[in-house]
Amino acid sequence: MTDEPGPAERPAVATRLGLSERTVAAHIARLRHHYGAHTLFQLGRQMRGDRDA
């Protein structure tokens, strides 16, 4: 199972951002690598920091 946007959601995300699907995927991959996140949920938590902890 994956947290990535499904096939139906990817075009909507890219369109909303004004980017191609591949560009959005590349940005997410770079961010996940930078933060050491395996899932989008982990990425969101790590980018947000420990503000709620």
The domain ranges of the chain are 10-48
Q: Are 24 and 13 in contact (CB under 8 A)?
A: yes
Helix axes 21-35, 40-48, angle to 10 degrees: 60
pLDDT digits (tens, 9 = 90+) for 7-52: 567 788 899 999 999 999 899 899 999 999 999 899 999 999 866 5
Tell me the C-alpha distance between 9 and 25, whole Å: 12
pTM as predicted: 0.69
Stronger pLDDT, 28 or 53, i.e. the higher one = 28
Give how far Cα 26 sits from Cα of 1, 19, 49, 50, Å: 20, 11, 22, 26
The answer to whether residue 4 scores a pLDDT higher than 90 is no
pLDDT reported for residue 50 = 64
CA dist 7 → 3, 10, 14 (Å)? 12, 6, 12
